[in-house]
Chain A
Amino acid sequence: MTALPVHSNRVLLAKLCVVVVVMFGFGFAMIPFYNKICDVTGLRDIDLADKVNNTQIDTSRSIRIELDANLNKLPWRFRPLTPIVSVHPGELAQVVYEVENTTDRPMTGQAVPSYGPRRAGEYFKKLECFCFTKQSFTPHEKRQMTVVFVVDPKLPGDVATITLSYTFFEVEGNKT
């Protein structure tokens, strides 16, 4: 504190401003950082086909699969052809959804799956799903899309019903 305060004040001001700028950048840097963590831990791998190791069918129990379809602000029609199916754990099953673009313009959307109960998600193995990729539709196109899945036999015994719910979002970048 022997130096003139004005000079040391300015030096400290500059240092603290650097901290502020760095922390502002840190806010943005959290995005790639966070994405990296999700990649490493596989938290967000909803668009990859699952691997099935054990295909032994457990016929001793049946799981009721309820299919649900939602649209996020999209003027489409989206529904499962069969709203409820029953499968045995380990059994390969296929369900069909129908989507129709009711607008006069080509549109692209992507479906995001979710599960109820949530913990059932890790036992619900999708081998093929329209949700893995973006789906493009010409005006008024109607299309049937399949989901092929296996319910892992390790599914906890107290889960008798799984709700598979898809929500279609428009991929805004492809808006024309």
Chain B
Amino acid sequence: MSSIPHDHVAGHAHDDHAHHPSGIMRWITTTNHKDIGTLYLWFSMIMFLAGGVLALTIRTELFQPGLQIVDPEFFNSLTTLHGLIMIFGAIMPAAVGFANWQVPLMIGAPDMAFARMNNWSFWLLPFAATLLISSFLVPGGAAAGGWTMYAPLSVQAGMGMDFTIFAVHILGASSIMGAINIITTILNLRAPGMTLMKMPLFVWTWLITAYLLIAVMPVLAGAVTLLLTDRHFGTSFFNAAGGGDPVMFQHIFWFFGHPEVYIMILPSFGIVSTILPAFSRKPLFGYASMVYATGSIAILSFILWAHHMFTVGMPAAGQVFFMCATMLIAVPTGVKVFNWVATMWKGSLTFETPMLFAIGFIFLFTMGGFTGLVLAITPVDIQLQDTYYVVVHFHYVLVAGSLFAFFGALLALDDLLQRDVLPDAFSRPRRHAAPHSRLRDAVCRLEHGRIDRRVRLWALADPLPLHGSESDSIRAAGACQAMGGVGHAGVDTALAGAVPHLRDAARGGLIERENCAHE
């Protein structure tokens, strides 16, 4: 800790934008990771509402048996676009938004590694989303073969399918760039002294998610490219009459599709592993096992894709292999659930809203996991394929899983959001208006987890009267521990040595909630 490089120039990178553009240009040209994180979160919210409108229309149609409101063809478009919009428009960008906000702060980086690429990877999204949604307006309507775009239906579908294919290409490019950015930031821009195994768990989960993204998004791009050439350039990859095989599309798609479900849930695992220790006033139980469990889930996710296609016909040996591989996933997932429960065990729990979301996550995500385990059993799956049981299963893990974690994170980070995320027009009167509100307390406590707010503020690059080695030590310590990172004796000592009045905090591990009110 004594030989920390003096690179606090980087730490002031945010303050150098003396003449930054204002108004809409601020958002279009921004390279600030927090601005871009905000854009991602707003985009995700808008897409969430758009996908939600489609879902409401679906439920309205299903309110009674028979046909009420929409045509069968349009109904199929609704389910297809609901899936695509929620997955590629809502869940994934929200996770990237949280990564943009938190990863640089948690690891003590001045910004994302490729700040301009970060801007580009966001600004591709609105265009892709417009393309996707506008496919409702073309002759033949939007893609209607399900979000999985199975051949041969997708080969025969109308123009809306071409819009979808192109949108998926753009969304994939955006995700790949975002993932490269996050990996580079995490591997190259960590604060001095922060080894990989000292990173907050959210950073770990995102590192692994980003690797999954760059491994499988190109495969999806390949799959839809093959669809495109089948549709327009006379190839027969998936066309049985031309010697192709429609089932092959499912193999290629699910080679992407299964890791994709972990891409959507791993960041939420990280978020829950951040919220729980803060509201339990205990360090995360089993940090190392959490990291290894996350890694195991990611590796296993590559070898079980065919459990999505038990009914298409497969040798018994294949069915048994994919069944067993799928059940194996329950082991690292079980480790995680155990660790979350053990984190709360004998903790000093309080039940503010983010904590409620986190506990709701644990219970309902576990339900999603158990239903998944049932579906893994081949003979059962053959009965349940394409039934609402499957729909319920993945909504348990995506809504009660990913979405709950995101809501919890959003509320926990409300303080940050009010600082400079929301445009002025949306800002509410902050802190002094309701100093004793439960939410405010919750935010305080979360931010305090183990360290003083001033350390946190430093990490946020607010002006602080800290200089030289003092700030470096705090930077290393603060970044490590902010948002519930693992506590390490070495870091605690450095923290206490650097700022005497924080010594109590470092020794006691926790700061009384009353400290919050003094600010």
Cross-chain pair count, CB within 8 angstroms: 97
> Which 4 A/B pairs are nearest by Cβ-Cβ distance?
A27-B222, A169-B241, A24-B218, A23-B218
What 0/1 readout, one digit per residue, does chain A (40-71) give for beta carbons within 8 Å of chain B?
Answer: 01011000000000000000000000000000
Q: Is A147 an interface residue (CB 8 A)?
A: no
Binds B, one of A2-10, A86-94, A148-156: A2-10
Choose from A20, A31, A38, A172 the contact partner of B218 (Cβ within 8 Å): A20
When chains A and B are docked, how far (Å) is the Cα of A126 from the Cα of B60?
A: 51
Query: What's the nearest-Cβ distance from chain B to residue A172, in Å?
Result: 5
Chain A residues near B (Cβ < 8 Å): 1-2, 5, 8-9, 12-13, 16-17, 19-21, 23-28, 30-31, 34-35, 38, 41, 43-44, 72, 109-110, 112, 118, 169-173
Given contacts A27-B218, A31-B237, A172-B239, contact A16 B248 (CB under 8 A): no
Binds A, one of B23-31, B43-51, B181-189, B350-358: B181-189
When chains A and B are docked, how far (Å) is the Cα of A153 from the Cα of B375?
A: 35
Chain B residues near A (Cβ < 8 Å): 5, 113-114, 176, 179-180, 183-184, 187-190, 192, 214-223, 225-226, 234, 236-237, 239-242, 245, 248, 251-252, 255-256, 313, 315
Query: What's the nearest-Cβ distance from chain B to residue A4, in Å?
Result: 10
Q: Establish whether residues B183 and A16, one from each chain, have CB atoms under 8 Å apart when the complex forms.
A: yes
Q: Establish whether residues A9 and B315, one from each chain, have CB atoms under 8 Å apart when the complex forms.
A: no
Q: Establish whether residues B215 and A19, one from each chain, have CB atoms under 8 Å apart when the complex forms.
A: yes
When chains A and B are docked, how far (Å) is the Cα of A169 from the Cα of B220?
A: 28
Where chain B touches its partner, the secondary structure class is helix
Choose from B5, B180, B240, B313 the contact partner of A169 (Cβ within 8 Å): B240
Interfacial chain B residues near A25, Cβ < 8 Å: 222
Given contacts A12-B188, A30-B251, A44-B245, contact A173 B313 (CB under 8 A): no
Interfacial chain A residues near B225, Cβ < 8 Å: 27
When chains A and B are docked, how far (Å) is the Cα of A169 from the Cα of B221?
A: 28
* 16 pairs of residues in contact across A and B, judged by CB atoms under 8 Å: A1-B192, A5-B113, A8-B188, A9-B113, A23-B218, A24-B218, A24-B219, A26-B222, A27-B220, A27-B226, A30-B251, A31-B252, A170-B241, A172-B236, A172-B239, A172-B241
Central interface residue in B218, B220, B240, B245, by most chain A CB within 10 Å: B218
When chains A and B are docked, how far (Å) is the Cα of A35 from the Cα of B236?
A: 14
Query: What's the nearest-Cβ distance from chain B to residue A16, in Å?
Result: 5
Interfacial chain B residues near A23, Cβ < 8 Å: 214-219
Query: What's the nearest-Cβ distance from chain B to residue A165, in Å?
Result: 14
When chains A and B are docked, how far (Å) is the Cα of A170 from the Cα of B179?
A: 44
Central interface residue in A23, A31, A44, A170, by most chain B CB within 10 Å: A23
Given contacts A30-B255, A41-B315, A112-B240, contact A16 B222 (CB under 8 A): no
